[in-house]
Chains A and B, each alone.
Chain A
Amino acid sequence: NAGVTQTPKFQVLKTGQSMTLQCAQDMNHNSMYWYRQDPGMGLRLIYYSASEGTTDKGEVPNGYNVSRLNKREFSLRLESAAPSQTSVYFCASSPAWGGLANEQYFGPGTRLTVT
């Protein structure tokens, strides 16, 4: 099992460019998440998908859109990148939305720089 995979690992964008970060999990999990991690800070939730076909905003959704393409894949799109979106982006998945045993499994992260 690969677990949670993310592509690309690194990306440099110019201000105003768009891009999509891809995430896939092979654990048959129902719930998926996108976080960002800024220097000196913990992870903050951008968007989540509690189950296939649903998506909801997290703590910091402005400037982002998401798509739950199917049960395995959850993408994050930056329509017009801004320097404030320079960060490390993590995708995660969990078996379900509620309950204690729903540990979140994280991908390796994507380091995005917007110049």
Chain B
Amino acid sequence: AQTVTQSQPEMSVQEAETVTLSCTYDTSESDYYLFWYKQPPSRQMILVIRQEAYKQQNATENRFSVNFQKAAKSFSLKISDSQLGDAAMYFCAYRSASAGNMLTFGGGTRLMVKP
């Protein structure tokens, strides 16, 4: 079974600065997808960014980008120009390409943004 680990329970960043959230995963598969979800205090889960394992190019979405290291099984999220609205729980998730749409989530990282 796949596992997803987020080793940072909490992170803090100054507004307008950059922060990187870490995620590692364990799998024996070669084809899979990785995701970062944001969960603000409202509890709503929001997809931030996704990455296909067969793509070497790192995904970017505006201020959000990932550093995908397939050999190291590492998938970190970089948030640039942090804003107060970025404060939330962030979850890394894994999905096998051969197991339908079943997501395996990490334990989450709480991001605090200081004004």
Q: Which residues of B contact A59 (CB under 8 A)?
A: 104
Q: A44 to chain B: which residues have CB within 8 Å?
A: 105
Q: From residue A93, how far is it (CB to closest CB) to chain B in Å?
A: 10
- Check B47 for interface membership: any CB of A closer than 8 A: yes
Check A108–B44 contact: CB distance below 8 A. yes
Q: Are A45 and B102 in contact (CB under 8 A)?
A: yes
B107 with A42: CB separation less than 8 A: yes
For chain A residues 27-63, which have a beta carbon within 8 Å of chain B?
Answer: 31, 33, 40-45, 48, 50, 58-59
A: interface residue count bin: 20 to 34
Q: Total A-B residue pairs with C-beta atoms closer than 8 Å?
A: 53
A74 is an interface residue with CB less than 8 A from chain B: no
Q: Is the interface of A mostly helix, strand, loop or mixed?
A: loop
Q: Which residues on A sit within 8 Å (CB–CB) of B105?
A: 41-44
State whether the Cβ of B11 lies closer than 8 Å to any Cβ in chain A. Answer: no
Measured in the bound complex, the distance between the Cα atoms of B85 and A21 in whole Å is 30
A48-B102, A50-B100, A108-B42 known; A40-B47 Cβ under 8 A: no
Alpha-carbon distance between A33 and B102 when the two chains are bound, in angstroms: 9
The 8 Å CB contact of A103, one of B42, B44, B47, B108, is B47
Shortest C-beta distance, A24 to chain B (Å), equals 16
Which chain A residue shows the least CB distance to B1? A59
* B45: chain A residues within 8 A (beta carbon): 43, 90, 92, 106
Q: Quick one: which of A81-115 are within 8 Å of B by CB?
A: 88, 90, 92, 94, 96-98, 100, 102-104, 106, 108-109
